[in-house]
């Protein structure tokens, strides 16, 4: 994992390091979930839904310069917090860094790995896999590969 973390990821590490126990971390986790930028109703469709999550999760990706910006939503309160922390870690990363991201290490550094159930962990891995797939789709759309179409989440003209 890169030593240079995005500012939101650094803020998350500091905030969670300051919490003495799980109850405080859980409360903070839910507060982080409230920070998620809401998705439009049109973005909460099957095209943006992440498969492999027990709770419904929607993911929207957009290229920003050399990096990527993601927005996500879920109806599950705890999962919204986990998504917010994942987005804090990946926001603005170039494709190569996102491809090598160690999700388990990120949540361990936050002190949350012991509280992640196997189903939540699988769901978060499904979100990360979808992020990587969207980036790969965009790469195929922009490199002129035969049969490659534009990313379903790419902005118009990307």
- Integer-rounded Cα Rg, in Å, for the chain is 16
Q: Is 139 a known active-site residue?
A: no
**Active site residue: 53, 88, 93, 95, which one?**
53
The answer to whether residues 59 and 131 touch, using CB atoms and an 8 Å cutoff, is yes
The answer to whether residues 123 and 103 touch, using CB atoms and an 8 Å cutoff, is no
Q: Which residues contact 82 (CB under 8 A, 6 or more apart)?
A: 29, 33, 107, 112, 116, 120, 124
16-24, Cβ contacts within 8 angstroms, sequence gap of 24 or more = 16/110, 16/111, 16/112, 17/111, 19/111, 22/115
Residues labelled as active-site residues: 53
């Amino acid at each position: 994992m890169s030593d240079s973390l995005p500012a939101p990821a650094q803020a998350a590490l500091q905030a969670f390091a300051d919490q003495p126990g799980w109850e405080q971390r859980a409360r903070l986790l839910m507060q982080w979930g409230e920070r998620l930028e809401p998705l439009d109703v049109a973005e909460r469709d099957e095209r943006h839904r992440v498969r492999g999550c027990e709770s419904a999760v929607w993911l929207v990706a957009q290229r920003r310069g050399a990096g990527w910006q993601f927005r996500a939503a879920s109806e599950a309160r705890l999962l919204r917090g986990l998504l917010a922390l994942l987005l804090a870690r990946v926001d603005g990363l170039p494709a190569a860094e996102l491809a090598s991201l160690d999700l388990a290490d990120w949540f361990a550094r936050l002190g949350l790995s012991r509280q992640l159930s196997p189903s939540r962990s699988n769901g978060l891995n499904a979100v990360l896999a979808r992020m990587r797939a969207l980036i790969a789709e965009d790469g195929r759309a922009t490199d002129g590969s035969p049969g490659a179409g534009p990313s379903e989440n790419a902005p118009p003209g990307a």
